[in-house]
Structure 1
């Protein structure tokens, strides 16, 4: 029997290639209600010409313009420094989460923020700049979900995926601009100390140029909100565990951290994920970066694999369009130099994929 006739791993799922990136490595992607596609590029060492872009007529252009993507130290609330996540709310606004942490540095003072952009005018509406008791020196702002059904103007829930300090869920009142940390350093927002990820057949570790190694310790990263806004799902990146909590508990400052921790529910092992998203029926979609896959978690807790494909080299951010497709970036994060003794193993292009799920995105209002 010839080698190519031997049994081999079975791949499945009708994956479509949407766009290829030959420049900087993307993380976040989002689709507006009108089908506009936005992508972001954090400053992790690549030559990032703009940290937020839009795919227009199959070309990548800076969004909203090149000037906004240049660091202006006199107007840090009006520029993008190093963006980790972009989220369109389905109602005409693009939310831009700016870590202000190029190369995972300590966040630039007064630079870490959540910015709302009016998609009709492509102008910044408001910048929510985080105070130093919310964005700590160790904080890395990762992903955000919006719900307009609570409070005077809605709330945002943001993951702090720090690998050097406490993970947390940051809760932001969009009316007052007040934010606070919840589940700070909790087991549910922290890396699993026994977690050893295996990607492309190899154990994934921080592997430094000097030959030293250490475990991956990235905290709460993936986040998804139920269609009614009542439940928040979240997961540390350095873990295979899925957790959820009622959002009303997160918003209630009268509930102590200890009481809040006791209210977190464990949903089981779902595979190791970076990004997550929910559809209008309440199904959670989660990347499975160890297995080149996307998983689905049904409302009753049952799980299945939606797509398994060798091209899914680190599924990062997931988003759902009104066209009823699930979109996600595959950016080879694990092949970066920091995991390979200083040698960059990534092969361009990075890819934006999609797969038909025949469901709409979860509403925000």
Structure 2
């Protein structure tokens, strides 16, 4: 009789919220009333709608199907390819449209941040970007908000470009003025020495023609402290965590070349896609190399709260009013572009949650 050998221990009480059998999701957000919204960027799957709400265990296009059908005559009021959805805790769903299906150059005038009123389910405002903010290489990835500063608050967006400079895009929500910060610096750029390893294999671009290249993506994960004063961020292909004062980010009298001296380094947290902060200032981050979810306390102490073979690429996080941490798990690393054109993803993709007994960080006083 062969002995049972010791094996890796898994832990964390994860619950399945929703199983996706269609297109691959990336974003999730839970509103203050418990409504759950999902987004599906156009990366090659058959995406019938790029933003959806889960209603009675079914996906419904949001705010309606018409808005999810690209209208070349009206690209500012229709969604092209949405990467991120964020409920702000005060009645608005913010939708970040990359306008870059299949990571193409953003469609001119199509990249935008859209505010949808959750009471009326109608678009309240659309913020578009000038060509010096959304570059031909830009990929708008994730966004965080603070409504305690300025006349109408500020938004902070990561540019996770794979072939151009990474950056934090700062948006004054009162007038739509936007500008790039930390453009192309080390903290928003891919770590050139990082070699991602997922499911025991090196992750790299492997093309149908047999050619290969390193997998490189710039600033992606982003989280904001409960008082709105500190922004945490990380490149996707890196294990490092950085932060910067939001006051400094917004202060355009500080030139970009001096901004790097205001960046704080928090050390390694594992390689993360999405991040989120709770009301006590704890940062939650995925570790896609190790099928894990970590939390980083304000004093820098790190703890793994879930380690599970089902956490196959933890993407976006959201904290609900029910004090659960929600996470999209989408097998991003199994996409055809990493495997010579062969799709290794196995449906369903999933929305999981774990009880953390904490509320989301507030965006307003």
SS at match of 2:284: strand
Q: Shift in Å at residue 279 of structure 1?
A: 0.1
Residue 356 of structure 2 is matched in structure 1 by: 357
1:177 aligns with 2:176: yes
Spell out, residue by residue over 1:38-70, the C-alpha distance to the aligned partner (whole angstroms, 9 max, x if none).
000000000000000000000011000000000
Residue 18 of structure 2 is matched in structure 1 by: 19
Mapped partners of 1:31, 1:336: distance in 2: 27
1:243-322 paired onto structure 2 within 5 Å: 243-322=242-321
SS at match of 1:78: coil
1:32 aligns with 2:31: yes
Q: Shift in Å at residue 73 of structure 1?
A: 1.2
Mapped partners of 1:358, 1:246: distance in 2: 27
Mapped partners of 2:286, 2:293: distance in 1: 5
Residue 194 of structure 1 is matched in structure 2 by: 193
Mapped partners of 2:60, 2:273: distance in 1: 26
Mapped partners of 2:210, 2:358: distance in 1: 47
1:84 aligns with 2:83: yes
Q: Shift in Å at residue 262 of structure 1?
A: 1.1
Q: Shift in Å at residue 74 of structure 1?
A: 1.4
Q: Shift in Å at residue 201 of structure 1?
A: 0.3
Q: Shift in Å at residue 130 of structure 1?
A: 0.8
Mapped partners of 2:71, 2:120: distance in 1: 22
The structure 1 segments of at least 4 consecutive aligned residues displaced by more than 6 Å after TM superposition are none
Residue 61 of structure 2 is matched in structure 1 by: 62
Q: Shift in Å at residue 257 of structure 1?
A: 0.7
Q: Shift in Å at residue 363 of structure 1?
A: 0.2
Residue 41 of structure 2 is matched in structure 1 by: 42
Mapped partners of 1:204, 1:236: distance in 2: 16
TM-score, with structure 2 as normaliser: 0.99
SS at match of 1:127: strand
Q: Shift in Å at residue 270 of structure 1?
A: 0.3
How many residues are matched?
364
Mapped partners of 2:73, 2:261: distance in 1: 44
1:122-141 paired onto structure 2 within 5 Å: 122-141=121-140
Residue 227 of structure 1 is matched in structure 2 by: 226
Q: Shift in Å at residue 2 of structure 1?
A: 3.6
Mapped partners of 1:174, 1:216: distance in 2: 34
Report the aligned-residue RMSD. Answer: 0.6
Mapped partners of 2:71, 2:253: distance in 1: 39
TM-score, with structure 1 as normaliser: 0.99
Mapped partners of 2:2, 2:62: distance in 1: 51
Residue 203 of structure 1 is matched in structure 2 by: 202
Spell out, residue by residue over 1:212-266, the C-alpha distance to the aligned partner (whole angstroms, 9 max, x if none).
1111110000000000000000000000000000000100110011110111011
Residue 236 of structure 1 is matched in structure 2 by: 235
1:112 aligns with 2:104: no
Mapped partners of 2:184, 2:198: distance in 1: 26
SS at match of 2:52: strand
SS at match of 1:227: coil
